Structures are given as C-alpha cells and as structure tokens.
Amino acid sequence: MHFVLLVCLASLALALPQGDPRDVEAVIVNDVRSDNGDGNFNHEFETSNGIYSQNTGTPGSEGQSNMQGSFRFTLPDGTIAEVRFIANENGYQPQSDIFPNPHPLPPHAVEQIRVAEEQRRQGITFDK
C-alpha cells in the first residue's frame, strides 16, 4: 500500500510544471471588446499568467482617440506592477507606484546644482 502511495506522489510531482512559471505558455482567460464605430470603445484582456489590460476610448477634440485605462503584470520578484493611464491631447500620462517619485535627476544635473551651490557660497554671480 505504501509503495502505491509513493508511486502516485512521484507521478504527481513529475506531472507538475518544471522551471520558471513565467516560461509556461499563457492562455487567454478573458477578452471582451466593444466598438461602437464612432470612436467609442472598450477593451478588457486577461491571461492565465496575470497579465491584464483594460482600456476605454472616446473621440478626442483634435481628432485623436482619447483613452484611459490600466494594465498590470507580474515582475520577476513576484510583485504585481500596475499602471493607470490617460492618453489624450496632452499626451500619454501614466501613473504607478512602480515609477520613482520624484523622478531621479540625471548625474549631470546633480553636478550642475552642486557647482551652482558652491558658486553661491563663494559669492560668485553672473550678469544677465
């Protein structure tokens, strides 16, 4: 009896997916679309590996499609990243906790600020 149980458990272990779960082929679990043909549309999409996207679109004032929605996916460390966005005549405007806030300054800008502060301490001024 113990041998049969051991063989069953071994078979089950061998049947489980091996390796990185991100390497397993994803399947679509939800795909809902509606398009009124007048520039208004909705789209929702989800896969078995946790990728999700939702968009709503409307005609824009300057001929563009205005959209708002969100998407999410799993990062390599297992956390879920979600991005919410608006895209309209003012451009693409994403928001997410995964973005650095405030956006870090590039090294050359940090150096320029340091030099300007040093010049102020030394009393150096520049004419206009």
CB 25 within 8 A of CB 48: no
Residue 8 has pLDDT above 50, yes or no: no
CB 45 within 8 A of CB 63: no
As a whole number, mean pLDDT of residues 84-101 equals 90
As a whole number, mean pLDDT of residues 9-25 equals 57
Mapped onto helix, strand or coil, the DSSP state of residue 64 is: coil
Residue 95 has pLDDT above 90, yes or no: yes
pTM given for the model:
0.60
Ramachandran sector of residue 91 (left: φ over 0; alpha: ψ -120 to 50; beta: rest): left
Could you give the strand order of the β-sheet that contains 28-35, starting from the edge strand earlier in sequence? 28-35, 41-47, 52-59, 65-74, 80-88, 91-95
Residue 26 pLDDT: 87
What percent of the chain clears pLDDT 90, i.e. is strictly above it?
55
Residue 47 pLDDT: 94
Domain ranges of the chain: 20-98
